[in-house]
Structure 1
Amino acid sequence: MGAARLAELTASRPEWPGGWLAILPREAGMALRLWLDHPARSPLSTELAADEAWLAAESGRHLLHPDHPAWPTLLGQIADPPPVLWALGDLGALGPPRLAMVGSRRPTREGLTNAAGFARELAERGWCVVSGMALGIDAAAQQAALDAGGASVAVLGCGVDVVYPPRHHRLYRRLQEPGGLLLSEHPPGTPARAGFFPRRNRIVTGLSLGVLVVEAAERSGSLVSARLALEQNREVFALPGSIHNPTARGCLQLIRDGAVLVRDLNDILAELSQWAVAVSAGPDPAPAPVEAREDSLLRWLSDTPTPVDALVTLTGRGVADCQRGLLELELEGAVTHAAGGWIRLPARRGA
């Protein structure tokens, strides 16, 4: 049973366990019935015990599901979300707005430089870089984001306890430290398989507001990610390259087909303006009392209007709670409402 079919069944909110037994395919229903009636005889008991033991062994191990407070709400917008996500690392990495970065596994030096440069600036602007820890562009982008003190999420085509590719063992360990997170729809111990990687791409793009293709040949797997992003109503961005560079032809084709041509990060933020993070031009001043109370709202506001529904997604707060907070901030003169949403006002000097 695939993820899309399971999502359909879950959406019907069947009762436990009778409702599930009635709608599951015959084989799955029989396996569930055996586990319910005779758990000692069911192979599910051994698997569940192993999974529970893995989760309990160390901090930083999590099993995310749609009712978990850290579950990424953007996954609810795609047709085939994973039913669960195994997580290893810092769940706080899921907090900032996210952009996927993908590209060639055999990039040029220029491609590696561009990947690192964009990832570094995204981190400095408060964005999280999502990718697949693959060779080439993926790893360069994720390493640069983490080195800049930002956040990065890697979606794996194996269990989160499996290092793949093996040469990225240092990046794998770094992704378990603050700011990093490893995710997989496969349980711990699952080895990497060729068929898992195209499937994981839907999670990479589903987690993100858009995808930036740095370098891609005409038949690159990165173009699969771009296609998935379009199907998920995500923005697709591409870096242009020389017509004489084979690893740029995929990007040039994407631009010809309607992807946003990217010259610098502002080209991306202009398309995702309602998600733009306010950036301080210098050291942060001592916070005013209102900032201490409503920092979770202020940090997402800039001089570009941000709608309330976007703030709900970014902060994880309810609509009513966001509206109350915005009213307090407006009374303090810290924000105001404009066409398209709320904007942050400049701090008043000498007040």
Structure 2
Amino acid sequence: MDEAHDAWLRLLRARPNPDALVRLVETHGDARAALAAGPIAWRAAGLSPRAVQALRHPDPAALDADRAWLEAPGHHLITWDAADYPALLRRAPAAPAALFVDGDPDALWRPQVALVGSRAATRSGRDIARDFAATLARSGLAVTSGLAAGIDTAAHRGALDAGGDTLAVLGTGPDRCFPASNAALQAEIAGHGCVVSEQVPGTRPHRAHFPARNRIIAGLALGVVVVEAAERSGALITARLAAETGREVFAVPGSIHNPMARGCHRLIRQGAALVESAEEVIEGIAATARELGVALRARLDAPPPAPESRPDGADPARDSLLAALEFDPIPLDILAARAGLTVQDASAILLAMEMEGQVACEHGRYLRRSPGSAFRT
């Protein structure tokens, strides 16, 4: 493990306020300098006395456990100062200083829709969540939720059954599962997307951590769909946070006799878009999806070609990719080789084409989109 990651582990193990930790790292340039700055600088950045004390006297056993978790295959730490930190999440208020990821960290950059709702969902609500998730997944979108019972579980299951990607954001450490009954589902998600947590390994369920994880769900997603929710619900917190971050909020209406529909009706009265199908959600997130494509180009150092350099509107790289695409799925590396592009450049261009409805992505393989397919802008 490199020194930068080790410094980050020490900072995160002190469990500081995320805003204060980001401020500390940005003030001193990197995690190692922030760690070396000392107690006066830590307090000046806003770290609590408890966090300062934890930094002064770190727990060697806990740090060894964190290092051991990170050294296991498929485990990653994405920090605030890394180019791989997801662009949409970075814009969110109180964004986490770092994310522990089990699975594919590139899934964080996939265009995502969050599907959330009640733990005590009705059978009908679970069916709607599963159907919405399956349609979103087949359209090339990843489905993000919180791995809770009820709507969250149905959303993850629907995306997986459709062969798509799904992301689970935890309120525990990345090595814990809550509820325990979803342990097998959590492992499956890590293999078809990723499991994400801002909590250090070993962190047990705590009431305060679940509303906090909702801001990550809202921050990662292009939009949030609430399927069923009571009038006082964590799903409504996620929806509010999404709206405050400038993301789209959608609500599925229900029976006036269903108490689990009252939260959705309240959101609709407050201005959330009423949706009856996943296709309406896809149409509603198109503008934000285009922004994600621009951010991905920046991440890959592949800026959009300047229009003035191609007065006829031609784009040789894009044309090469279109020529290489077929109606059967092709792996990214083969497409890039056929088009004479690097994998990074091809990925950025394909994402933009996916946002425009020209291509589809299935299990990481790309194909031409058939006429009339969903997710056209």
Question: What is the match of residue 139 of structure 2?
Answer: 125
Task: In structure 1, list runs of 5 or more residues that go unmatched.
Answer: 35-41, 277-305, 336-340
1:327 aligns with 2:315: yes
Aligned-pair CA distance for 1:69: 4.5
1:51 aligns with 2:51: no
Instruction: Check conservation: 2:219, 2:242, Cα contact below 8 A.
Output: yes
SS of 2:224's equivalent? strand
Aligned-pair CA distance for 1:154: 0.6
Question: What is the match of residue 129 of structure 2?
Answer: 115
Counterpart code for 1:23: A
Question: What is the match of residue 302 of structure 1?
Answer: none
Instruction: Check conservation: 1:14, 1:20, Cα contact below 8 A.
Output: no
Aligned-pair CA distance for 1:265: 1.8
Aligned-pair CA distance for 1:116: 0.3
Aligned-pair CA distance for 1:91: 2.3
SS of 2:281's equivalent? helix
Alignment partners' CA distance in 2, 1:147 and 1:70: 28
Alignment partners' CA distance in 1, 2:166 and 2:259: 28
State which of 209, 220, 224 in structure 2 corresponds to 1:211.
Answer: 224
1:274-289 mapped onto 2 (5 Å cutoff)? 274=287
1:1-351 mapped onto 2 (5 Å cutoff)? 1-14=16-29, 16-17=33-34, 19=37, 22-25=40-43, 27=49, 28-29=51-52, 32=55, 34=56, 42-56=57-71, 58-177=72-191, 179-274=192-287, 306=290, 309-314=291-296, 316-320=299-303, 327-329=315-317
Normalised by the length of structure 1, the TM-score is: 0.77
Counterpart code for 1:106: A
Give CA deviations for 1:154-186 in whole Å, capped at 9, x if unaligned: 111111111210111221221121x23111111
Give CA deviations for 1:83-102 in whole Å, capped at 9, x if unaligned: 11111122242242011110
Cα distance change of structure 1 residues 318 and 207 upon mapping to structure 2, 3 Å threshold: same
Aligned-pair CA distance for 1:227: 1.1
Counterpart code for 1:214: V
Aligned-pair CA distance for 1:20: 6.2
Instruction: Check conservation: 2:169, 2:216, Cα contact below 8 A.
Output: yes
Counterpart code for 2:274: L
Aligned-pair CA distance for 1:70: 3.4
Cα distance change of structure 1 residues 242 and 73 upon mapping to structure 2, 3 Å threshold: same
Instruction: Check conservation: 2:112, 2:221, Cα contact below 8 A.
Output: yes
Cα distance change of structure 1 residues 345 and 53 upon mapping to structure 2, 3 Å threshold: closer
Alignment partners' CA distance in 1, 2:59 and 2:90: 27
Aligned-residue CA RMSD (Å): 2.9
Counterpart code for 2:243: L
Say how many residue pairs are matched.
301
Aligned-pair CA distance for 1:4: 2.5
